Structure 1
């Protein structure tokens, strides 16, 4: 890992993030709502495909995390990931826990001990219930970060080209080998049903930065084929369309116009939106309907509030706090390295 890789900023990836977050929100509000708020009526349209927004998030992560690793030293990468993930997560976790413990609108609860473990983001690794159901995907993200970081540290850049194939194979084999892979090794070794999606993102990054390679291009059609092992024809078609959209976003010179600005904005707040929309939205929808508001209006109000909250958290908490933490941790890492370098033998 070094700073030699060229910097890439694709607004099309921001659009993909925004679409993914919106899709997940629509899925939760139109399909999953009755599981947590039995008295609330969802809108009479079930957006089942919205659940695949997480698949899109995982492909985007495969692309951007390899890019980040190639542009960073080890300490820079660890600091950037920590300061990106945790500040808004902590606040989202606190807000959600407060609503769960103080309201009667949601049929779900967590203990104070579970809340404290959730603050580490390690709850899935130690089989503790999540404060918010959407946190399940964070375990796969963290497992991917750990796997890719370790693989590049041990094997160097020469093994990058084989990682997408390993991860697609890992996802395919997991369909039959799952009972034999102890928890949480399936997360840390990328032997799980979502590993192919991260591998697809890696392949797209390699195709973007290294040029065309038949071996990497083959990963793109292989990804929806692996998804078919878990979700049948439906998964194959939806993930196939997602891979096509990501290929267009990553491998073409398309530049979003003015009409795409709302989606770029949505991509900018997507992480906060993903973390906060579900349980808080369910509570708001249930409360509004208890007051006599219909499902469509309660859905629209919850959507607007979710977007507003995500915007506020992103711009007035996540970005300033992350920047402050990054400066402090970077300065601390520099102070630690200086005496170590002075003690290193010369010649």
Structure 2
């Protein structure tokens, strides 16, 4: 039952990457101001970078689950295997993306920083604009085993670590502590600012490991999911009205309600068997499977197609559609030729519990 439930999370991966790709595509083509009318539903597009928070939530669920299983079964966590699994999961496609980026842009001086996830923003042109989330993801990968080691040594010390972080998080949110504009941006985008959504995911991971998730029938689950979709639309519209990117930097507390809403969506999906499942190759699940490669590839491809089409005096929508199709095709190739072989090697390090991997976006 637990593994069947986890398979549903591929659907949420598909939702997350769809939101991110549409956000980058539409805003690159038409700007960040949505047209009048239907704003609440367009908020899913113009605040689509919220899909990254959904990815963080999914990582919190899946990456923490093996630790909770080991804790439940009173066995040590194999940290060497854990690190090998994480490296095989994220490094091959990412390093390929870095290689292509420096070859296209000629910014070879950024290779050392990119290799250790310190190059993002526009350090390597448009290629590196999405790399910040990989840095945050890697920070979580390092934090998690350290936290469980502390937890195994002294639970009060582990609680103290979380309390210190919480006090700092609240102080930054209330503007009692400031690192300067650039420092505040780094904080908001780092694990320090994004830890709430990871912890919410870890809480769901604990429920999965302990097999404590409820089971909802299809109708109540569908009604709850519909209500959450409406509430999310309203919430995201608020962020659109305040400037999506700037609002998240200046008001970092926004990650808490955002995480709670996405966490509620995940809980409903996991608790309602009738909402998940379906054919393995249906579109949403397919997007979930290739979401990491698509995340790394989509923005430079979209920008290139929009720029080329503009020079050729093409209309915007055909350019955008061409970029989306080309990004999907390249992501499929990357998944087939790079990710799948790496995942096959990664499976050699898998434990008997067949812990699922989490996509690092």
Please give the TM-score of this superposition, normalised by the length of structure 1. 0.70
CA deviations over 1:151-173 (Å, ceiling 9, x no partner):
11232298599699757666444
Greater relative contact order (CA < 8 Å, ≥ 6 in sequence): 2
* Contact 1:29–1:42 (CA under 8 A) maintained in structure 2: no
Gaps of 5+ in 2: 36-41, 71-76, 215-234, 236-246, 351-361
Structure 2 residue 229 is the aligned partner of structure 1 residue 209: no
Structure 2 residue 200 is the aligned partner of structure 1 residue 200: yes
Query: How far apart are the structure 1 equivalents of 2:171 and 2:273?
Result: 35
Displacement after TM superposition at 1:97 (Å): 2.9
3-state SS, counterpart of residue 307 of structure 1: helix
Query: What's the C-alpha RMSD, in Å, of the aligned pairs?
Result: 4.2
3-state SS, counterpart of residue 10 of structure 1: helix
Displacement after TM superposition at 1:323 (Å): 3.3
* Contact 1:63–1:201 (CA under 8 A) maintained in structure 2: yes
Structure 2 residue 113 is the aligned partner of structure 1 residue 117: yes
Structure 2 residue 139 is the aligned partner of structure 1 residue 136: no
Gaps of 5+ in 1: 1-5, 36-40, 102-110, 214-223, 331-347
**What residue is the counterpart of 1:20 in the other structure?**
16
1:32-111 to structure 2, matched below 5 A, reads 32=28, 47-69=45-67, 70=69, 73-101=78-106, 111=107
Query: How far apart are the structure 2 equivalents of 1:34 and 1:56?
Result: 24
**What residue is the counterpart of 1:244 in the other structure?**
264
Query: How far apart are the structure 2 equivalents of 1:147 and 1:99?
Result: 34
**What residue is the counterpart of 1:290 in the other structure?**
311
Displacement after TM superposition at 1:193 (Å): 2.0
* Contact 1:15–1:264 (CA under 8 A) maintained in structure 2: yes
3-state SS, counterpart of residue 123 of structure 1: coil
* Contact 1:174–1:193 (CA under 8 A) maintained in structure 2: no
Displacement after TM superposition at 1:301 (Å): 0.7
1:267–1:178 Cα change, 3 Å = farther
1:179–1:73 Cα change, 3 Å = same
1:239–1:149 Cα change, 3 Å = closer
**What residue is the counterpart of 1:221 in the other structure?**
none
1:30–1:282 Cα change, 3 Å = same
1:64–1:157 Cα change, 3 Å = farther
3-state SS, counterpart of residue 47 of structure 2: helix
Please give the TM-score of this superposition, normalised by the length of structure 2. 0.67
* Contact 1:96–1:280 (CA under 8 A) maintained in structure 2: no
* Contact 1:21–1:270 (CA under 8 A) maintained in structure 2: yes
Displacement after TM superposition at 1:324 (Å): 4.3
1:147-226 to structure 2, matched below 5 A, reads 147-156=143-152, 159=155, 171-175=169-173, 176=175, 177-179=177-179, 192-210=192-210, 211=212
